[in-house]
Structure 1
Amino acid sequence: MKLSLTFLLALAASLNTVFAEDAPGYFRWPTAYGNQVAFTADNDLWIAPLAGGPARRLTSAAGVENFAMFSPDGKWIAFSGNYDGNVDVYVISPDGGQPRRLTYHPAADMVAAWTNDGRIAYRNFADNGYGGWQMFLVGTDGGWPEKMSVPEIAHITFEPGGDRIAYTRFSLGGRTWKRYKGGWAEDIYVGSTKALDYKKVTTWEGNDATPMWYGNKIYYIRNEDDRDNLWRMNPDGTGLERLTEHRDYDARWPSLADGKIAYSVGADIFVYDISAGQTRKVAVTMPAELLQTRDRFVSPDDYTSDYGLSPDGKRLVLGARGELFTASTERRGVVLQNTDSPGERERSPVYSKDGKEIYAWTDKEGDQTLWAYPADGKGAPRKVAPGPSTYNFQIELSPDGEWAVCGNKDRKLSLINLKTGSTSVIDTSDWEIYSYEWSPDSRYVAYSVILPNKFGGVKIYDTKDKSVHLVTDPMFDSDSPTWDPDGKWLFFTSRRNHNAFYGENEYSFITLNTGQLFALALAKDTKSPYLEVDNTIESGDKKDDEKKDDEDDDGDKKDKKDKKGKKDDKDDDKKVEVKIDWDGLINRIVLLPADAGRYGGLGAVEGKLYYIAWDARGWKDDADEDDPTVALHCYDIEKKKDHTVVDGARGYGFSHDRKKIVVRTKNDYVILDAGDTKEPEADKDDKDKGLKLDEWTCDIDPRAEWKQIYWQAWRDQRDFFYDANMHGVDWKKEGERYAKLVDRITTRHELNDVLGQLFGELSAGHAYIFGGDLERSKNVGVGLLGVDVARESNGYYKIDRVLAPDPWDKGRTSPLSAVGLNVKPGEYLVAIDRKPVNSVANYLELLTNKSGKLVMVSINDKPSLDGAREFVVRTMSDEGELRYWDWVQSRMAYVKEHGGDDIAYLHLSDMSPPGMEQFMREYYPQVYGGKKAFIFDVRNNGGGNIARWILAQLDREIWSWGISRGGQRDHDPWAAFQGHKIAICDEQTGSDGETFSEGWKRLQLGPLVGQRTWGGWVGIRGGKGFVDGGGATQPEFTGWGADSKWLIEGPGVDPTDPVEQNVKNLIGGKDDQLDYAIKWCRDMIKKDPRNDAPMPPFPVKRATGPMK
């Protein structure tokens, strides 16, 4: 074979194009020095000429390297790296080489700045029990970090040649909220590290962020005029000047070095030259492998979102990673990929009646449309129906295969003609309609709705006359209807068992396991299966004949399964006609004699009723998805017996003929015959009882997936955002604007960043992005000992404190506080696993890869190995809870020290399970402790959903007192507090913490002290994941007050008594906001002690007249 020179040259050129193609990239966290600019792209650190051109990769570890900053002399680049599954500070030469690790604490260490003396300032939450950022300093050779004295610092810059710093307390750079002006907005503080005279110098209601000091000016990012741009000012806050005019995208992640400020705009790098007063874009390209954009193979079972059986139950359709797959329901078989549509998502698949097609929703045309795909994977799909331009739920096929019914986000239930594609609305509800089922004759649809009284109700739609009938009593909460296969009964669950449980902390009650199983007799002549007297008189001979028919020649009972199978074969073509007598239907109700519980997902087969049951559990109980407290049950109607069929069931479904059942567990699919009351036996050589899908694999096109995820996220906001007008934002235009950035990304992390910018245009809280198929490094955890230490000059560590706020709780006490160890402040930590701690720059190096593991610790009363005592402890993986409770105990002690014994104190970290536990633990012991005033502290409260309950507990007025002979006094309502109440909030009080703050004011429970809150109040839910396991939230639920004005969202909650913390006082151990609350309590106690009403004299009831 002859090859020409021309061909060889062309081939070489094409190979060069394939393997060394420059990519534009998605550039973040840039930093410039001299004629170079370093930045993050493709999850790694790169460096490129400042004049533009191809970049060179500096790092290649899994995970993301970010917050790069050149040192003042340009010799080093500091950055935060995720090399061992933990974010730590590293330095690397601009020429490349191996990065040097400088920090080891398991808290994420974020590089913030370089000091004038060549150290690196970084922030983390390492030992701040209150939860705010703290700033640490570490040298380029590592060592024990120095903590700065200012309690809260997120961004910092150092005055050149001086002792002042400029800083912000908060960091909102990663938040998905543009044009933010709430209480959490960043402000810049300036002051001397010697005089501690820190003052807020910015007054803009929005964000003044990331200060950078150069010469006699402070440069920073400000969000005035709708976009984040670069500004500068004098250190006292005067002389404001806007330096850039970016309009399409925000200026983000600035870094100052060598008189240049590098920052990101969209996906590009810009550099502002301070001396020239000009900014320009740096045209960088990446000659990169872009490994994360390559097609690769994944296990789809890790991403399965939908499943369903074929009509005969012999095959299983699976929706995973946006594609449709089918597999045999035999124990092992090949999994076939029925669709191959990168960039599209097919979901909610359902087999057609004849099993030749699979119906599914797809976004191939942008909005969701219903298509039919060949079940054998051969041939082209066909479009069935357009579908409404909103989020559609699962379709349910009629038994005759001609119709489908489907609910959607608009709270409508629609009927779809599968032949013509026409769609009509059946009904609307006060909430979304998820549960619906066809009658056996395809005439009726039973479904659940939410009624105006907020209770669930069951309705039936008649396709023949298009009428709708409510068939359950609206006085009871009912749902999950399912039809008897013979068309005589409609089963449903209803919460009518009001068996109250007495609360142990106060005189209150809760109801659990309220659900019961019911059946409606559809026709008037249908008899209850539980009549105690048989009203049908039959001859004894006939009954004897039937009994004999159930026995073989030897008198043994015939195999009921065989008999049932013959009956099924005989009745396959039996036509069922459902007869409904509407008059009096709601009263033809029968309670099935099953135990009350928490039920849902009902499905009926002949003589039996399947359902999912959840056991009641507390918030603190650890719940795994395959926990046996969630199970598939089967209730035998005739025998009145309940069976637990599959523990850990996450859901189940029937074949079209209702002869087969598929049950989804955490890791598998279990196939049952209809009527089965237990799982199939496992293979002899295999403990697994389900299908074998371990060899299932498929290839994915990441770039195509990312585009699909982007537009799904855009649609989900369009469909679920609480304001259909999208806060006045042109949502289509914004979608197109940020879609341009998706073409630039090369990793899944970067997609999340683009989505964050897109969501930010809605200017709303709670619009979050999380997870996905992210590149991650293997976690190498660092163990902790729960102590505060100081490094001595000889390298040993003097113990300042052994934290043990709750000695009985291992999560809230240091391992070194265990009974019998007797480790005391003033002693020394000298060795770990017999390695001297002074042999390394930071003793945490010796605890690397020892998180939660046993280690030998050496403690001495002097800084020496000689005479040290040794013992083994298990390290902590996280000190967050320990340090938080230590902070709470310090606040309680502070109140007692400055306010005396008459004032109670309670801090709530959130309005979730931990907050509920705190209220139960801290409120009740103090409410009866003779306290005259109570301080409720919700500073830094992270939100949740219990504020309304707590407010109800506090908004109670005592109206009577009581006593028994020789007993303690009591009052009514029980556990109500009759003393004075005051609450404290701050800038980081958010979400449901703001519900508490606003409710506190409106209920006039007392003063609200502190600072304006976050302003994020529009609530969210989950449930709409992406194809790769990631997800996003859509702000959906909000509200207004009695004055018809929107509440909280945006500005936050204003305190009645504004009090700002003085930084110098905080450094000195004072708490100005708490001091204000204490003084108010003392003044009110003196003015009105709120004592119990005096007890009256006992009544005299003796006879007063003459005795007879």
Structure 2
Amino acid sequence: MTQFLSRRTILFILSLLSLVSGLVAAQDNNESTALLRYADIHKNQVTFVYAGDIYLADINSGDARRLTSDIGFEAFPKFSRDGKRIAFSAEYTGTRQVYVMDIDGSNLKQLTWYNDVGPMPPRGGYDYRILDWSADNKNVLVRANRLPWGERMGQPYWVPVDGGMEQALAVPETGGGMLSPDGTKYVYTPIDREFRTWKRYQGGRAQNVWIYDLQNNTSQQITSHRATDHQPVWVGEDIYFISDRDYRLNLYKYNADGEPTKVTNHDRYDSLWASAGPEAIVYENGGHLWRFDPATKETKQLNIRITTNQENLMAQFKNVSDYIESGDISPDGQRVVLGVRGELFSVPAENGEIRNLSNTPNAREISANWSPNGRFVAYLSDQSGEYEVYIYDIKNKQHKRITEDGHIWRFNPVWSPDSQKLAFSDKNHVLWSVSIDGGKPQKLDQSSTNDIEHYRWSPDSRWLTYSKTENTGFSSIYVYDMNNKKAHKLSTAAYHDYEPVFDDSGQYLLFLSNRDYNLAFSAYEFNYLYVDATRVYAAQLTESTPPLYPYQSDEVQLDKKQDKDQDKNKDKNKDKNKDKNKDKNKDKDNSKKVKVNIDFTGINQRISVLPAAAGNYNGLQTAGDQVFVLKGEDRSQNLLLMSLKKDDKPKNVSKGVNNYRLAAQGEKILVRQGQNLSIIDAKAEQDNNGKKLDLTNLTLKIDPQTEWQQMYTDAWRILRDWFYDPNMHGMDWRAIKDKYQPMVDAATHRSDLDYILGEIAGEMNSGHIYVNSGDMPKVKRQENALLGAEFVKDDSGYFKITHIFAGENWNKDRLSPLTEAGVKAETGDYVLAINGHSTKNVANIYELLEHQANRTVTLTLNNKATQKDSWQAHVKTITSEGQLRYLNWVNERRAMVDKLSNGRIGYVHLPNTAIEGNRELFKQMLPQIGKDALIIDDRYNGGGFIPDRMIELLSRKTLNYWKRRNLDVNSMATPLIAHDGPKVMLTNGLSSSGGDALPYYFRKMNLGKIIGTRTWGGLIGISGNPGLADGGSVIASTFRFMDTEGNWAVENEGVAPDIEVIDRPELIAKGQDPTLERGVEELLKELKTNPRSTIQSPPEPTEF
């Protein structure tokens, strides 16, 4: 039962940290401490992040001392130009904000209060990234994520050190960057990719280095390589940057008159996070800090030693009830076995202690299943170095390894009813059976299309039934005969049949099947989809098997003597019924004597449907003559009960069930509802009758380093077994693991593991390989409030509203607080006070909105800077202005297109190809369907689904028109929503994933020109894989895009435009949009030669 409680797989590992005199050196005193990150340098000092805190070290002595100490993660320390202060970002107050302190750690001061975007996955990096200081040390240059297109894109802002509002630079978008020594120019990359786990990337998002002249508002692109050029820095008059144009990321010097000069030559690890001081550059390589001296051209590893108590590595007891990944219930329902953070636990239904059954500090146990006789627990463990099948003997408290040949990830061992055999499958799509008494596993079947994940035994343990995906995409049901060693296919090719299970009598095979074609019609057009396709079916296994729900008729009994005889037997029958449940084990023994026969001829004509309406079903199980099944969506399912004897409607067992497990004796059920586990009776109406498991004492002493070692191996295995290419893009995968192992050994913070996992994943040179954080030290998040407006400090001392973002106040995601009904506020008004606190008393208005998110605040407003005639507005605050900024940007583009084309051209922006993007396409296209031409803006499209449905809508053509009396003949056409006019699509390097596929399909369908720059180039997709022990994960890309001729396409290249237009930053800063303007220009040209056609009604017919 591998997916009982969560699709994440979980781990726990124990180890003990040795303490010497209360202190532990991070490495041997003669060695440099590893994993010092995000460093900056000033003369003979470096500051960096280690284990989530900021340190300062002397380069000459190597001695370091900690400047910050907090449970949150401090990031990007930067020296002021005079070397007296350090700016950094931290989470002290519940959100990430900008702080400054003296270099000895004193005089800490908070500079920002605008709500950050919140924790992002590692590939997103951090909001409030410190970039540099102004030449006069009065401002910190910060990258803040306040752009319209998503939480990971940022713009540079000045943050005054003495207090004040952040002020955006003219530069519209930035990755890493640095100011020139005199502060008049900014060298940077417009795109941010530094946190991405994709090495040797050459798609449309490959970074190039630009210089922006802040005084003259001009820009210059200074590199144009297909490889990555990023993290530019300025040392004196010279510019350096990191590039992988020679395979590994190394440091290069920019030459205005020729090719850049490579100044470092690291060939084993990539160089990361270059940062410059007045005399030198510091960067990371191979887990250590290095210094490059431009004057001497010398590169040297810094020998910095940290001695600390390593509190992040201390073994700690934690309640791990949030990390349950699998579970099963004992046959009698008295105990539950849980797979929790890599250990197996036996938990009592009500009374008794919680027992750790495995106690394997260096291994991970998953997929726990209790044997039908109650004697054993089967599970998977990687104790041997690969996942093998094991059993635990409850009676003798002994573990036994069953398989010896592990080399690939395995799934879910399932017991035979006689408790003698186990079926399991693996990532090579093979189905296996193995005896617990020894012997090699027997290969039963193999799929060429997908994993085999659902398999169940017959009551006599002879047959194994399972579902297997066919080339059509439909799933078919098979049964394997263990006696004759032969697989039989039961399904036809016509239907999607899955989740087969035998009933306890061995007479029926129940399964789920999609055989209903129920149309659900669109509210906007004549269109439909097929919903609620699934029902529960039962196949009679032989011709002699009685049909389900045979015909019954109540008739008058005419033989009175027979009636009396039957009455005499009633008392005898009552006595027999009393004894039925006395010996459950005896009943089980009897049930094992069931002999299952299958007559394959004509079996598809012996299928009956159970009395449950078509719907969305899963989790089919049986007990006696009872059938249990879940109905509904994943997070809101009802557990239903049906009978094989009575043709009654399904009865509710329990509501809000995520998943459940039926005890082997059929009388108890383990259910999960949200975070709660309960044991209920296997009967109807159990919503308030269950016994909630007490997991208060489900605690483990977790040694982080030991756990990280196992997770590192698991991540390596997951990438090995799930990546679409078994050759791993030519990588020696074992060598890659060994290469980064020393970094794992040196890890002291959970973020270190994320970084290392990103490094090994990046070696595969593939898109969509991601890392997600697990059990990270966290600060309790306390959101700051936003008002959907922009403000400036007026000379009066009050704050003036300079812009109010228009919202869609009927849409909860786009509420604009100052525009809601009953709120009187306009651009130009003054905010005199918030909750009675005068805004004159603060330099930054957001300081008064700290921790006020999603609350009603009282604003004192006036249209002049005085209290006289002021009024109060009660405003419900929000936590993010992202959607409002996005809506504002889209409306500005649409207005621009409307003006440039005199209303002839429509504009549609697609933020992604997921639910939101599909919704926006339909929502924006409908009111513009009558426009002569359309611009489809794919820029900043974050991807999501494969966009074939979207391109189908865009490619529709009118099939015919309909004449109605006194009405315009063009007003009624089939299909109703179709646009026959010319179109163009706009793209850039942020058109990603589904945003790559969309322009590819656009070109494939000959819908128009593509204008802009190359797209991201990420079309090796993801379909899910197991997680890691502590809730984190690595995501392996599992399928790769090919064209219809069988060639690789798009991946690591992108979709090239027909017309290249580069959006120069100085033009964007002026409010222009070069790519959009070119799109309008091209469509107006096309409309002159190829106008959108309309028709006139023919003459009225006079005769037929």
Aligning the two structures, in what range does the TM-score lie when normalised by the shorter sequence? over 0.9
Alignment of 1:953-968 (within 5 A): 953-968=953-968
Offset of residue 357 of structure 1: 3.1
How many angstroms apart in 1 are the aligned matches of 2:297 and 2:89?
30
Q: Could you tell me which amino acid in structure 2 is paired with residue 227 of structure 1?
A: R
Which residue number in structure 1 is paired with residue 628 of structure 2? 610
Which residue number in structure 2 is paired with residue 5 of structure 1? none
With over 3 angstroms needed to count, the CA separation of the structure-2 counterparts of 1:58 and 1:562, relative to structure 1, is farther
Pick one of 662, 666, 671 that aligns with 2:674.
666
Aligned partner of residue 594 in structure 2, secondary structure? coil
Q: Report which stretch shifted further, 559-568 or 334-343.
A: 559-568
1:590 is aligned to 2:608: yes
Offset of residue 294 of structure 1: 1.0
Offset of residue 514 of structure 1: 0.8
Aligned partner of residue 763 in structure 1, secondary structure? coil
Alignment of 1:1038-1077 (within 5 A): 1038-1077=1040-1079
Pick one of 779, 800, 803 that aligns with 1:801.
803
Pick one of 39, 51, 54 that aligns with 1:45.
54
Aligned partner of residue 365 in structure 1, secondary structure? coil
Cα deviation per residue 1:964-985 (whole Å; 9 max; x = unaligned)? 2134432223311111111111
Alignment of 1:824-863 (within 5 A): 824-863=826-865
Which residue number in structure 2 is paired with residue 473 of structure 1? 492
How many angstroms apart in 1 are the aligned matches of 2:561 and 2:1020?
68
Cα deviation per residue 1:494-551 (whole Å; 9 max; x = unaligned)? 1111111111122211111111111110111112123335799999679957985897
1:262 is aligned to 2:282: yes
> May I ask how many residue pairs the two structures share in their alignment?
1064
TM-score (norm 1): 0.93
With over 3 angstroms needed to count, the CA separation of the structure-2 counterparts of 1:547 and 1:724, relative to structure 1, is farther
How many angstroms apart in 2 are the aligned matches of 1:101 and 1:27?
24
Offset of residue 362 of structure 1: 0.7
Q: Could you tell me which amino acid in structure 1 is paired with residue 903 of structure 2?
A: D
How many angstroms apart in 1 are the aligned matches of 2:565 and 2:269?
81
With over 3 angstroms needed to count, the CA separation of the structure-2 counterparts of 1:768 and 1:162, relative to structure 1, is closer
Which residue number in structure 2 is paired with residue 224 of structure 1? 245
Pick one of 341, 346, 370 that aligns with 1:351.
370
Q: Report which stretch shifted further, 1006-1015 or 792-801.
A: 792-801
How many angstroms apart in 2 are the aligned matches of 1:836 and 1:547?
92
Aligned partner of residue 1084 in structure 1, secondary structure? helix
Which residue number in structure 2 is paired with residue 4 of structure 1? none
CA contact (8 A) 2:624 2:666 kept: no
Offset of residue 424 of structure 1: 1.9
How many angstroms apart in 1 are the aligned matches of 2:640 and 2:834?
53
Offset of residue 241 of structure 1: 1.1
Identical aligned residues as a percent: 31
How many angstroms apart in 2 are the aligned matches of 1:695 and 1:749?
28
How many angstroms apart in 1 are the aligned matches of 2:482 and 2:1058?
59
Pick one of 161, 164, 181 that aligns with 2:182.
161
Which residue number in structure 1 is paired with residue 317 of structure 2? 297
Cα deviation per residue 1:127-174 (whole Å; 9 max; x = unaligned)? 545774211011222311111012112222222236222121112111
1:409 is aligned to 2:413: no
Which residue number in structure 1 is paired with residue 933 of structure 2? 933
Cα deviation per residue 1:587-635 (whole Å; 9 max; x = unaligned)? 21111222111111111112210011115xxxxxxxxx7x5x3121111
CA contact (8 A) 1:303 1:321 kept: yes
Offset of residue 403 of structure 1: 1.2
How many angstroms apart in 1 are the aligned matches of 2:496 and 2:248?
49
Pick one of 440, 443, 449 that aligns with 2:468.
449
Which residue number in structure 1 is paired with residue 515 of structure 2? 496
How many angstroms apart in 2 are the aligned matches of 1:808 and 1:817?
11
Offset of residue 470 of structure 1: 1.3
Offset of residue 562 of structure 1: 5.5
Which residue number in structure 1 is paired with residue 121 of structure 2? none
Q: Could you tell me which amino acid in structure 2 is paired with residue 49 of structure 1?
A: D
Offset of residue 1088 of structure 1: 2.1
Q: Could you tell me which amino acid in structure 2 is paired with residue 463 of structure 1?
A: M
Pick one of 372, 389, 409 that aligns with 2:407.
389
How many angstroms apart in 1 are the aligned matches of 2:1096 and 2:1071?
41
Pick one of 621, 642, 645 that aligns with 1:635.
642
How many angstroms apart in 2 are the aligned matches of 1:360 and 1:536?
55
Which residue number in structure 2 is paired with residue 182 of structure 1? 203
How many angstroms apart in 2 are the aligned matches of 1:389 and 1:73?
57
Which residue number in structure 1 is paired with residue 383 of structure 2? 364
CA contact (8 A) 2:211 2:220 kept: yes
CA contact (8 A) 1:386 1:421 kept: no
With over 3 angstroms needed to count, the CA separation of the structure-2 counterparts of 1:468 and 1:810, relative to structure 1, is closer
Offset of residue 942 of structure 1: 0.3
Which residue number in structure 2 is paired with residue 685 of structure 1? none
Alignment of 1:416-815 (within 5 A): 416-429=434-447, 430-532=449-551, 548=567, 565=581, 571-574=587-590, 575-615=593-633, 627=635, 629-639=636-646, 640-674=648-682, 676-679=683-686, 681-682=688-689, 689-815=691-817
Answer 1 or 2: higher relative contact order, Cα 8 Å, separation at least 6: 2
How many angstroms apart in 1 are the aligned matches of 2:560 and 2:459?
35
TM-score (norm 2): 0.93
Q: Could you tell me which amino acid in structure 1 is paired with residue 619 of structure 2?
A: G
Q: Could you tell me which amino acid in structure 2 is paired with residue 921 of structure 1?
A: K
Q: Report which stretch shifted further, 562-571 or 48-57.
A: 562-571
1:135 is aligned to 2:156: yes
With over 3 angstroms needed to count, the CA separation of the structure-2 counterparts of 1:421 and 1:52, relative to structure 1, is farther
With over 3 angstroms needed to count, the CA separation of the structure-2 counterparts of 1:707 and 1:98, relative to structure 1, is farther
Which residue number in structure 1 is paired with residue 222 of structure 2? 201
Offset of residue 394 of structure 1: 0.6
Aligned partner of residue 347 in structure 1, secondary structure? strand
Offset of residue 17 of structure 1: 4.9
Offset of residue 379 of structure 1: 5.0
Which residue number in structure 2 is paired with residue 86 of structure 1? 95
Structure 2 residues not aligned, in runs of 5+: 1-17, 28-32, 117-126
With over 3 angstroms needed to count, the CA separation of the structure-2 counterparts of 1:612 and 1:563, relative to structure 1, is farther
With over 3 angstroms needed to count, the CA separation of the structure-2 counterparts of 1:127 and 1:858, relative to structure 1, is farther
Q: Could you tell me which amino acid in structure 2 is paired with residue 409 of structure 1?
A: K
How many angstroms apart in 1 are the aligned matches of 2:564 and 2:938?
76
How many angstroms apart in 1 are the aligned matches of 2:303 and 2:561?
94
Aligned partner of residue 921 in structure 1, secondary structure? helix
CA contact (8 A) 2:372 2:418 kept: yes
Offset of residue 416 of structure 1: 1.4
Offset of residue 175 of structure 1: 0.5
1:65 is aligned to 2:90: no
Offset of residue 351 of structure 1: 2.6
Alignment of 1:120-131 (within 5 A): 120-128=140-148
Which residue number in structure 2 is paired with residue 943 of structure 1? 943
Pick one of 320, 327, 332 that aligns with 1:307.
327
Q: Could you tell me which amino acid in structure 1 is paired with residue 386 of structure 2?
A: D
How many angstroms apart in 2 are the aligned matches of 1:214 and 1:352?
69
CA contact (8 A) 1:324 1:349 kept: yes
CA contact (8 A) 1:67 1:110 kept: yes
Alignment of 1:974-1013 (within 5 A): 974-1013=976-1015
Cα deviation per residue 1:17-38 (whole Å; 9 max; x = unaligned)? 5534343342101112232211
1:373 is aligned to 2:378: no
Offset of residue 668 of structure 1: 2.2
CA contact (8 A) 1:513 1:597 kept: yes
Which residue number in structure 2 is paired with residue 101 of structure 1? 110
Offset of residue 380 of structure 1: 4.7
How many angstroms apart in 2 are the aligned matches of 1:306 and 1:722?
26
Offset of residue 1090 of structure 1: 1.9
Aligned partner of residue 1008 in structure 2, secondary structure? coil
CA contact (8 A) 1:327 1:334 kept: yes
How many angstroms apart in 1 are the aligned matches of 2:1091 and 2:38?
58
CA contact (8 A) 2:502 2:510 kept: yes
With over 3 angstroms needed to count, the CA separation of the structure-2 counterparts of 1:837 and 1:162, relative to structure 1, is closer
Structure 1 residues not aligned, in runs of 5+: 1-13, 616-624, 683-687, 1103-1108
Offset of residue 262 of structure 1: 1.2
Q: Could you tell me which amino acid in structure 2 is paired with residue 53 of structure 1?
A: G
Aligned partner of residue 778 in structure 2, secondary structure? coil
CA contact (8 A) 1:22 1:54 kept: no
Cα RMSD (Å)? 2.4
CA contact (8 A) 2:24 2:310 kept: no
